[in-house]
Structure 1
Amino acid sequence: MLREQERHQWVNAKLTTATTGLWAEAKALRLLQGRGWTLLEKRWSCRYGEIDLLLCKANAPVPRLLAVEVKGRRRCGPDGWGLAAFDARKRQRLALTLNYWIALNPRHACCQLEVVLALVPLPPNHRPVRWLKVPDLVEPNR
């Protein structure tokens, strides 16, 4: 059994991690909204997984849907700002989650779907957000 002090430190660490994750999502969302994207869902979840941010750009020549997986990191480590955390299992869960969301929201089925990984440096780091496109995550015929 954890001593009371160790348990308290563990709980505080978890709260800090959750708070920084929310901060990273908010920063990514602000940047995307500044580029004309409209938020559809934030932290949408189902039995398959969770979508951090789901946005649309309906005024584009071809309506676009953007799914964003946000990774906030304090510093660049051996995993390159969180790339290792987005492994094959996580990609598969995200693909299932996106397919399920689209099945529940068929009006968006005709949208061009893009999936990006947003690597958000956390304070005190002032580097820009890195956007990495995730190719071929969802079947084209959905």
Structure 2
Amino acid sequence: MKRLVPAKRLVLTGALCATLALSTAACSDDESPEEAATSAATELCGDIDDLQADIAKLTGLDPASATKEQVQDAYGDIRDDWNDAKEHITALSSAKEDAVTGAADGLKRAYEDIPDGTPVPEILTRLKPELEKLVDSVTQGSSDLKCP
């Protein structure tokens, strides 16, 4: 087996590590808390649309001609829609809480990383991005769901 010179070995090792890092990142399913909240809100809006459509289907059945099977099927659809909605309500609440917690933790880390003796204007400048994230996550977390 041929031995590689150190420079080539270093380049080969670097390329292998970069490939591994990129493939790991590409396979990651991790969502930020903000992305999880947005995803849950989108799913919940779809659930609400489905629920409203199925309620309309049940209430639109003609009592003179509807079969018991049609009523049961329509009710089953409504029940399933509600179960889906409950799951997404829980996921949305959890994601919003995670977003606020993450932003608060970010502010805490930023504050704790400020060295003693740092002038107040610089402290405020360093904290501003984290404060904005916290305000945004609290605002989004406390806003009502607005479906299109």
Q: Same fold (TM over 0.5)?
A: no
State TM-score, norm by structure 2. 0.28
State TM-score, norm by structure 1. 0.29
Q: Over alpha carbons, which structure has the higher Rg?
A: 2
Structure with larger RCO (C-alpha < 8 A, sep 6+): 2
> Whose helix proportion is higher, 1 or 2?
2
> Whose strand proportion is higher, 1 or 2?
1
